Homo-oligomer: A and B are copies of this chain.
Amino acid sequence: MPADATEVAADLGSAPMTHGSLAVVGLGPGDTSLRTPAVSAALAAATDVVGYDTYLKLAGPLRPEQRVHASDNRVELERARLAFALATDGARVVVVSSGDPGVFAMAAAVLEALDGADDARWRHVRLSILPGVSAAQAAAGLAGAPLGHDFCTLSLSDNLKPWSEIARRLELVCTADLVLALYNPRSKARPDQFGLALDLIRRHRTATTPVVLGRDIGRPDELLTVTTLAELDPAQVDMRTVVIVGSSRTKRIERPDGGCWVYTPRWY
């Protein structure tokens, strides 16, 4: 729809779209109060919005002339290729991720697509990656400051790396006494691996180590749970949960309302 696209570009005072553009944006955890103005502006300027169905809903209402390209989860490379094809045709494309697109999300998939591209024109697409507040950061903020000192961010999914490598990494980062922020901890297809990861972590940390579970933080059904390594039940955890396990130094402060704060001191 060249007429609409030109109007959008004109509205924003931008140069005519002789080459298309592709912005990979992080919507943040969900609530628009945690979304950067840069991302909101990119969404407003888009002619085409590409993403996993759930994240497109998170993006909020679009204008009728904005084309929406919804796809299933787990087809990241196809989605990235579609985005380049649209941008090569002159569209102003936005690819949406929840959280930060650079953290277990679409930015790496888009660059993988570019790296393997047969079409040399893809390299001339104006590409940008706009960061966002990640799920781990949103959960950490609600809980206090569990990521206040050295930490690591690991995916427990074995779709793209072998479980043996995941276990090896867990062993090493536990030995390093880092706080762990664990993404993709458990799914219906692999219900038992999170229990194996927990067994491993429990060999390194005490029973009272604080654990923060953030599920759908920043969305209407957000649920923050603070528990301990001993009490944590894998059934509390699913693919929409980010799990933060404290280091040996992570502490808990009781709150007058019955809850608690969790933080990792800056000193060691």
Interface, chain A (partner B; CB < 8 A): 28, 31-38, 41, 76, 100-104, 107-112, 114-115, 123-124, 127-134, 137-138, 140-142, 144-155, 160-162, 165, 168-169, 172-173, 175-178, 251, 253, 255-256, 261, 263-268
Question: Contact: A144 with B263, CB < 8 Å?
Answer: no
How many copies, total? 2
Per DSSP, are chain A's interface residues mostly helix, strand or loop, or mixed?
Answer: mixed
Question: Contact: B152 with A107, CB < 8 Å?
Answer: no
Which residues of B have CB within 8 Å of A28? Answer: 36
Complex Cα spacing A111 to B266, Å: 10
Complex Cα spacing A177 to B153, Å: 13
Question: Contact: A266 with B137, CB < 8 Å?
Answer: no
Complex Cα spacing A133 to B101, Å: 12
Which residues of B have CB within 8 Å of A35? Answer: 36-37
Question: Contact: B38 with A36, CB < 8 Å?
Answer: no
Question: Contact: A267 with B161, CB < 8 Å?
Answer: yes
Question: Contact: B155 with A150, CB < 8 Å?
Answer: yes
Known contacts A133-B133, A160-B266, A178-B169; decide if A102 and B141 are in contact (CB<8 Å). yes
Question: Contact: A114 with B253, CB < 8 Å?
Answer: yes
Which residues of B have CB within 8 Å of A130? Answer: 141
Q: Which 5 A-B pairs have the closest CB atoms?
A: A108-B148, A161-B268, A107-B145, A111-B263, A152-B152
Question: Contact: A141 with B33, CB < 8 Å?
Answer: no
Complex Cα spacing A112 to B138, Å: 20
Contact of A111 among B31, B144, B165, B256 (CB under 8 A): B144
Complex Cα spacing A115 to B262, Å: 10
Question: Contact: B141 with A104, CB < 8 Å?
Answer: no
Question: Contact: B36 with A102, CB < 8 Å?
Answer: no
Question: Contact: A151 with B150, CB < 8 Å?
Answer: no
In this complex, what residue of B is CB-closest to A178?
B152
Complex Cα spacing A251 to B45, Å: 31
Complex Cα spacing A147 to B134, Å: 12
A94 to chain B, nearest CB (A): 14
Complex Cα spacing A112 to B31, Å: 29
Question: Contact: A115 with B253, CB < 8 Å?
Answer: yes
Which residues of B have CB within 8 Å of A131? Answer: 34, 133, 137-138, 140-141
A248 to chain B, nearest CB (A): 12
Question: Contact: B145 with A111, CB < 8 Å?
Answer: yes
Known contacts A172-B172, A263-B115, A266-B104; decide if A37 and B41 are in contact (CB<8 Å). no
In this complex, what residue of B is CB-closest to A267?
B160
Which residues of B have CB within 8 Å of A150? Answer: 152-155, 169
Q: What 18 new A-B contacts, CB under 8 Å, besides A102-B145, A109-B266?
A: A33-B36, A34-B37, A34-B131, A36-B36, A103-B147, A108-B149, A111-B261, A129-B142, A131-B140, A132-B133, A133-B133, A150-B155, A151-B153, A152-B152, A152-B173, A154-B178, A160-B268, A161-B268
